[in-house]
Structure 1
Amino acid sequence: MEIDPELARTVVAVAETGTLDAAARRLHVTPSAVSQRVRALETQIGRPVLHRTRPVELTEAGEAVVRFARQLDQLAADLRAELAPEPTGPLPLTIVVNADSLHTWALRPLVGVSDRVALEVLREDEAHSLALLRRGVAVGAVTTDPTAVPGCSVERLGVMRYLAVCAPDYARRWFADGVDATSLALAPLVAFDRKDDLQARCLRRLTRAAVEPPVHHVPASAEFAEAIRLGMGWGMVPEIECGAEVRAGDLVHVHERAVVDVPLYWQQWRRSSALLREVGDALRDGARVLRLSGTPAAARA
């Protein structure tokens, strides 16, 4: 099937601006011309690419067309850079990384490619990260989902282990008589945000009961861990971040079974550019700090 790049880029403009009128202004054509291009593409592929809502929404076919257009633009940018007689500077790439990975291990390997790639790193939860891949907003994502998005490849990175930890003074106050359903129902905990269920999973593992302790929400990785260090509550912190503090006694591991293992995967466009492959290689190399195996759970955004 031959897809006219101009028609595909018109769908991208409609998706990004939300209406045919706004897309027409961006493309410097009339709304009628935009509508004709969209209809021509739909005729070409034999299915609709847009839901005519306000703002418009992409169909699955529309998402595929947008990925195609953005992949084409990425490959064209790579070719221009390769053929240019002088260095053209870093080329833009948008990827998605969950907050804890970005805070603990993913940023360092990305620094190694930052002179060649102008990165936009989006911090999103695993479900939304895949939606961004499907719509073509991002070219790659660190995710907990091993099922490849259409048009993408997927590779396992490793396992992020989380430990339930708290400050020593907090442990003496709330867990002096042990860690059980009674103490855990009273002891405040710290969650990243309302989508963060790592603490709830740990509670079910420890108590086999429905307990609802007081919850503080601190939606930033560094501040989340700092809130725990200051005694605001207990919470799940990546082992690669808190392991040394636990061994030194600066933090207390709440219980030997208070562990949650989260598998991480790297998904990227299958028709990738050389720069995207370089970013993927850097992340896979940086992920060597992760564990090789563990018990699956859901990741924090």
Structure 2
Amino acid sequence: MKSVDPGQAEALAAIIDQGSFEAAASALSVSPSAISQRIRALEVAVGRPVVTRTRPLRPTDAGEAVIRFARRLELLSADLATELDSARDGPRRRITIVVNGDSLHTWVLPALAQVAGTLQLEILREDEDYSLELLRDGTASAAITSVASPVQGCSSRPLGIMRYVPVCSRDFRDTWFADGATPERLSLAPVVLFDRKDDLQDQYLRSRTRRAVDPPRHYLPAAQEFADAVRLGMGWGLVSEAELRSDPRDLVRLDPGGHVDVPLYWQQWRHGSTALAAVSDAVLRSAALLLRPPVRRSRPRG
């Protein structure tokens, strides 16, 4: 394989970011034919296609690797500019990370505020079980995820345990769980879920009922409004301990011993930059203060 030209890698990243060859050309201030020529030369260099010619345009596996290279090169170039003191009045470095909604709502944002004065942050909200795809395809350079095994080219570090507990309003408890959160009542009582990817409530139901149940469901994909829906009596739901610490009003635990623990991990590009290191340090410090300690493994991951 020939060496990958940085300009060709930049062109591919722009195509995926902008959604078309024409929009990429406009973003890079070149002609569409120049973009096409760069992609053809890139595919010759790597010996395979780098982008699918479909709608929407998607990178191939080889294209994803090239895009990760382009993103890392962008960060490293910004580091070099800072060292040469030529970026004092230039644009701030941009870091894109993926965060699940509950973490963003409760503990991550104060951590990111510590570095917001020197960086541009793009925060993508995605469920912790699904965030790695954005890391894998080069969209993001770091992610909070529930998966310990690192994506290729990335490191993985444990953040801690995010514990969720089943709660409801007092009136809801009196109506549905007057005799306790029995399997029979749990199979009938309405439940609030974040979205259709949210499996937390079903994990808890399986642990309590030992069978498949399908109670009435409400879907509400917003962290603040999720807890509000539970407070208003729309159903019961699993709320993080961090959420309860910050705002416990009008919520009662329907099962004092019940909980679901979600281990969280910080995955980031192995070869990052000083900017990515600053974001990583801030997130890890905040996690150490606000999450339950991670389960120690005999062998570290990543």
TM-score, normalised with respect to structure 2: 0.89
1:119-134 to 2 correspondence within 5 Å? 119-134=121-136
Q: 1:87 to 1:23 in 2, by over 3 A?
A: closer
Q: Could you tell me which residue of structure 1 aligns to residue 285 of structure 2? A: 285
**Cα deviation, residue 219, structure 1:** 1.4
Q: 1:176 to 1:60 in 2, by over 3 A?
A: same
Whole-Å Cα distance in 1 between the matches of residues 87 and 43 of structure 2?
40
Give 4+ residue runs of structure 1 displaced > 6 Å after superposition: none
**Cα deviation, residue 181, structure 1:** 2.3
**Cα deviation, residue 232, structure 1:** 1.9
Matched, 1:253 2:285: no
Letter in 1 for 2:194: F
1:142-181 to 2 correspondence within 5 Å? 142-181=144-183
Q: Could you tell me which residue of structure 1 aligns to residue 187 of structure 2? A: 185
CA displacement, residues 208-253 of structure 1 (integer Å, 9 cap, x when unaligned): 122221112221111111221222211000012215877xx95322
Whole-Å Cα distance in 2 between the matches of residues 37 and 63 of structure 1?
16
Give the match's secondary structure for 2:117.
Answer: coil
**Cα deviation, residue 161, structure 1:** 0.4
Structure 1: where are the runs of 5+ without partners? 295-301
Give the match's secondary structure for 1:155.
Answer: strand
Q: 1:29 to 1:91 in 2, by over 3 A?
A: closer
Whole-Å Cα distance in 1 between the matches of residues 280 and 257 of structure 2?
34
Give the match's secondary structure for 1:53.
Answer: coil
Give the match's secondary structure for 1:126.
Answer: coil
Whole-Å Cα distance in 2 between the matches of residues 245 and 95 of structure 1?
26
1:8-157 to 2 correspondence within 5 Å? 8-84=9-85, 87-88=88-89, 90-157=92-159
TM-score, normalised with respect to structure 1: 0.89
Whether the 8 Å CA contact 2:159–2:294 is kept in 1: the answer is no
Q: How many residues align?
A: 292
Q: 1:245 to 1:129 in 2, by over 3 A?
A: closer
Whole-Å Cα distance in 2 between the matches of residues 137 and 185 of structure 1?
40
Whether the 8 Å CA contact 1:13–1:26 is kept in 2: the answer is yes
Percent identity, aligned pairs only, is 52
